[in-house]
Amino acid sequence: MCGIVGYIGYREAVPVLIKGLEHLEYRGYDSAGVAFITQKTGHIHVIKQKGKLARLKEDLRDVHLTSSVGIGHTRWATHGQPSRANAHPHMDMAGQIALVHNGIIENYAALKKELQHQGMTFQSETDTEVAANLIGSYYRKGCLVEALQKAVKRLEGFFAFAVIAKEEPDKLVVFKRSNPLVIGIGRGENFVASDAPAIMPYTNRVVYLEDDEFAILTRQNVQIFSLKTGKRVKRKPTTIHWSIAQAAKGGYPHFMLKEIFEQPRVVEMILKTRLRKGKIIFEKLDSKIAERLKHTQRIHFVSCGTAYHAGLVGSYMLGECLRVPVTTTVSSEFRYGDPTVGKHDLVILITQSGETADTLAAMREAKNKGALTLAIVNVVGSTIAREADWVIYTYAGPEIGVASTKAYLAQLATLALFSIFMAQIHPKGKIGHTKIHSLLRDLSKLPLQITETLKLETKINACAKDLYSKRTFLYLGRGYNYPTALEGALKLKEITYAHAHGYPAGEMKHGPIALIDKNQPVICICPRTSHTYEKMLSNIEEIRARKGIVLSVATRGDHAVQKLSRYTFFITKTEEMFSAVLAAIPIQLFAYKVASLNGRDVDQPRNLAKSVTVE
């Protein structure tokens, strides 16, 4: 995820762009840049820098160029490591246009080869520079809109663009497909940005672009057109009533809540990127890696915290899809346990940041022993992503809340795709084409089902008001949802500071049952699709017999569970493999609501850090 800002008007453009980027840095922070057309020479001037925005601002201190039109960008890398060369904006080879981009261009490699055959050269590793050169190849003086239209019709993926042209200093052209763009309407000036905070210091009147729409911004007006019909679109501006502080969180009181509600879009983007016409696609999978995957004899998940819980779910997924042994180990235990791994083993490292010290050390240990290493990482260009034999990026976007939510669901969705992929290529795959087709069909429904599950917020809020003063909680689950119980307890501990314990439900009678009395809340994850469903019902009955307070996550319409529970949070029926994805939503919301009611610092809970870089 990246941040785009653009300006055309009577003010000095660069200060406007920098202020906008300051409000968008949460969307990306590994590099930043601006491009503007100077009034004195009419040339496009580009200044960009690796690292946080402060470094770019330092570079701009001694720049005294007048401009009234420009574009800016703060980057969260997808193609190419963080560097000045890979930073946006990008220009075409002829220096005619400058472009900033948010999203992913899936067919960039083929287009790049085509453009190279035409004699074009490239300075970066990015898909964005490919788009800039493609637009440039169609550009003729005074026809930026036409060039952009022709180019985007050839681009596959999801993206948002803002473009300026040297020969057309009186306009700023933008385009949206999937990734957000909001246009700010001023007087004698107009703005564009990825999110409202970037423009709210100047205007609260905005227009949101829809998919496959482009807009032409001048000082005096904004014209919106449909790419498909070519006709002008009339849309009245909306007035934003948030403060800038609120807008930075999209109107949500905390980043954590915003990120919980971003999960349908995150999973949808993963599926759009990885699942094409029934085929699972992973980039950077060369023939050598593919061959080693086919001959894998054992698989080890290694990770920490929430990512460890994702690994546990992944072990169930791969166990269902393959006839090979699968284990899951906490990173800090893996390294110091002298792991028995070798050249026929696959070690999967899961990490949001890609910098977790324990996981990095475990990966290096596995590599030293000859194992194939696969990193499932959110942050592009991170150490683990660079050093692993192969990396699959989750593309969840920056996660600002310390307690992981959307990164966790991104990991689960990615693991589901990888597990099905392994069933397709590995000689010991356990499931056939019919089952694979069924799994992929249900997987594609997850974004809508997550959206539906988020509607539980009001009911969960009522439950939290009833129980927020409790200081101990017990979470129970079986199979795929034993890790959900662990994750639910971890979320509650992280942000409420209450004592919470996650257990496999079958183990309750071996100790934790001693905790249960009339004051003890027990959260039971009990989807009907589970083959241990009847056993979970028995566990709930045992809790009820001891007067425990039962909160259940159950399949919609399950009146048997509802009858035994004080509160029931219904999720949509899905394949058992994906039940942990949907069951995660109510436990995230419950933890958030309890923390909020207790007045906790939800986004930055005490003693925690987003990336743990010490062992």
Closest by alpha carbon to 101, among 124, 123, 71, 80?
A: 71
Per DSSP, the three-state class of 92 is coil
435, 459, 535, 610: which is the annotated catalytic residue? Answer: 610
Alpha-carbon torsion (382, 354, 327, 335), positive or negative = positive
Q: How far apart are the first and last CA of the chain?
A: 29
Q: What's the one-letter identity of residue 148?
A: L
2, 304, 321, 526: which is the annotated catalytic residue? Answer: 2
Quickly tell me which residue has 């637009």 as its tokens.
135
User: Can you point out the beta strands (E) in 384-526?
Assistant: 390-393, 472-477, 499-504, 521-526
**Active site includes 610?**
yes
Helices (H), 11-142: 13-22, 53-60, 108-117, 127-138
Closest by alpha carbon to 474, among 368, 557, 548?
A: 548
Per DSSP, the three-state class of 185 is strand
- Give the pairing of strands 97-105 and 472-477: unpaired
Return the number of other C-beta atoms located less than 10 Å from residue 325's C-beta: 13
H/E stretch holding 374: strand 372-377
Q: Is 228 buried (19+), middle (13-18) or exposed (0-12) by CB count in 10 A?
A: exposed
Question: Is the distance from CB of 397 to CB of 27 less than 8 angstroms?
Answer: yes
The encoded tokens of residue 17 equal 């762009």
Cα separation, 75 vs 90, in Å, equals 12
Q: What is the CA radius of gyration of the chain?
A: 25
**Active site includes 2?**
yes
Task: Go through 53-91 and write b for each residue having 16 or more CB atoms within 10 A of its CB, e for each that does not.
Answer: beebeeebeeeebebbbbbbbbbbbbbbbbbebbbbbbb
Catalytic residues: 2, 610
